[in-house]
Amino acid sequence: MFRKFSFLLMTALFLCAFSIAHANPFTVDNVTIPAKSESTPAETTSTSTPDETVATNSATVEPSLIKDLSRIYRTLGPWKGQRSVTRTENAREHHLNGYDSLDINIDGDNYCGQFAMSTLLKGMGIEADPQKVYQESNPRGIFTAPPTIAEYLRANGIDARMKNRAGIKDITKRIDEGKPVIVLVESSGGVPHWVCITGYDTDANGNVVSMRMRDSYWGDEGPHTMPIDKFMTSWSKPFGKSVLGGLVSYSNVLIDNNGTCEPTSSPYPGTFETATEDNMASGINDVVNGWNNHSVSQTIGGATKLILGLPGAIVGVASNFAKNSGNNMSNWGQERWNQGGLWNRISGGAAIVGGKITSSAGSAGKVVADIWSSGASLIGQGTKRLRSLFS
């Protein structure tokens, strides 16, 4: 029931952009993932990985916003990525001690966020039962929004703060301080996935060549090493080249770890740049989690976010679409301009100007949407805290 409710709600928010997303003449790179079979589990030792399956079938599957949304609610199930321990020859290791052997077991669906949080909490010396983490932050196995991750960690003694468009130095700085961080990457076929970064490797010149992580997809039984080029690509586009990826602002999402602190709550656990996405995603988390865990204030707080934030969500999605379409239009126009010739110069110049105007309008619209959504989030967060005022 809750999966259907949250799925329909998210679908409604993006429905306004559904038809134009399919009709965008300037976007051609989209992939989808085939539906997971419930009756025949995939063998983890199979020679065909999810990534290979997607690559094989993407050419014959139409891009679909509905399918993009449904992937957020579907566990990677029996699919497991192939864990890699390959390291660059003569690389210098910057690995945190104790994380490679952490035993994290969770019975549920879509628990990558809970696996990453449990890894971070246990590694930082905070008592954490992974199953309890799952029950408290994602009991229905839908998805875990970035603000939900940051808020849960703060409530359990980690001074966590969300960043969007973070850099590799933000990660290496924390690792050098002995603090793991959590990031959102693409696992396969446009499926966003939370991982806990526990180290990195550098070459003789000090350049980062790979990242070390623990997660529920690649590194559930031990550490996984990912080449830096692949990591940067999957980190910058956690939704891959999907339609949904072009409608949200998430890129290089980092749950920063500033060390331990007294358990506390945050009036605004997200970022302004992604306020629209954060408000709606965390609102769904609050409604589902609050209802399941019998928390009236959390349920009402989540509903407040969703109801008050709906206008901002509609404007935000449309604005992101306009911004991306404008950028694609300008790029197309530049290509035509470079080809030379009167007609190419006329059409290319018009596309460049039109694209920049459209992109600017989209950027301005997103700012308005984020301001509105920030207000909705603050009111919703305040509603969630009402219970603590009377306890």
303-356 pLDDT, tens per residue? 999 999 999 999 999 999 999 999 999 999 999 999 999 999 999 999 999 999
Q: What is the pLDDT of the chain when averaged over all its residues?
A: 83
Alpha-carbon distance values, 196 to 111, 214, 259, 292 (Å) = 13, 5, 15, 26
Q: How large is the angle between the packed helices 2-15 and 275-292, nearest 10 degrees?
A: 160
For residue 37, give the DSSP letter.
P
Same domain, 46 and 105: no
Q: What is the CATH number of the domain that holds 126?
A: 3.90.70.10
Which of 39-48, 286-295, 380-389 is predicted most confidently? Answer: 286-295
- Tens-digit pLDDT profile for residues 88-127: 778 899 999 999 999 999 998 889 999 999 999 999 999 9
Q: What one-letter code names the amino acid at 368?
A: V
Q: What's the rounded Cα separation, in Å, for the pair 57 and 33?
A: 8
Phi and psi dihedrals of 159, rounded to 5? Answer: -75, 80
Calpha distance 355→343 (Å, rounded): 18
Backbone angles phi, psi at 112, to 5 degrees: -60, -40
CA dist., res. 279 & res. 9, Å (int): 13
pLDDT of 247 > 90? The answer is: no
Distance CA 83, CA 101 (A): 14
Looking from the CA of 155 toward its CB, the CA atoms found within 13 Å total: 16
Check whether residue 335 and residue 220 sit in a common domain.
no
Same domain, 132 and 41: no
- Asked if residue 321 and residue 206 are part of one domain, the reply reads no
Predicted confidence (pLDDT) per residue in 211-229, tens digit: 999 999 998 889 999 999 9
Domain boundary among 211, 237, 266: 266
pLDDT of residue 71: 58
- Given its phi and psi angles, is residue 75 left (phi above 0), alpha (psi -120 to 50 degrees) or beta? beta
> Do residues 110 and 235 share a domain?
yes
Q: Are residues 202 and 333 in the same domain?
A: no
* Residue 216 and residue 127 share a domain: yes
- Per the structure, the count of domains in the chain is 3
CB 225 within 8 A of CB 211: yes
Domain presence at residue 333? yes
Residue 29 lies in a domain: yes
pLDDT at residue 12 greater than cutoff 50 = no
> For residues 306 and 286, what is the distance between their CA atoms, to the nearest angstrom?
10
Beta bridge partners of 260: 158
Q: Which residues is 93 bridged to in the sheet?
A: 201
Instruction: Using the 3D structure, point to which of 236, 266, 296 is the last residue of a domain.
Output: 266
Please state the rounded mean pLDDT for residues 48-74: 49
Do 67 and 130 fall within a single domain? Answer: no
Residues 6+ apart with CB under 8 A from 175: 94, 96, 181, 197, 198, 199, 200
| Phi, then psi, of 185 in degrees rounded to 5 | -125, 170
Question: Cα separation of 280 and 268, whole Å?
Answer: 13
pLDDT given at position 31: 32
Higher pLDDT, 269 or 358: 358
Asked if 166 and 112 sit in the same domain, the reply is: yes
pLDDT tens digits for range 153-211: 999 999 999 999 999 999 999 999 999 999 999 987 788 999 999 999 999 999 999 99
Q: Which residue has the tokens 């509905």?
A: 66
Residue type, 356: K
CB atoms within 10 A of CB 57: 14
| Confidence label for 19 from pLDDT (cuts 50, 70 and 90) | very low
**Choice between 23 and 125, residue whose per-residue pLDDT is larger:** 125
> 67 and 129: one domain?
no
The answer to whether residue 85 sits within a structural domain is no
Is residue 296 situated within a structural domain?
no
- Distance CA(73)–CA(3), nearest Å, equals 7
In a domain, 279, yes or no: no
Task: Note whether residue 84 is domain-resident.
Answer: no
Q: How confident is the model at residue 153, as a pLDDT? A: 97
Q: What is the mean pLDDT of residues 10-38?
A: 37
Residue 385's pLDDT band (cuts 50, 70, 90): confident
Instruction: Say if 78 falls within a structural domain.
Output: no
Per-residue pLDDT at 48:
39
Helices (H), 270-341: 275-292, 296-338
Range of the domain at 250: 92-266
If asked whether residues 247 and 316 sit together in one domain, one would say: no
216 lies in some domain: yes
- pLDDT for 63 equals 58
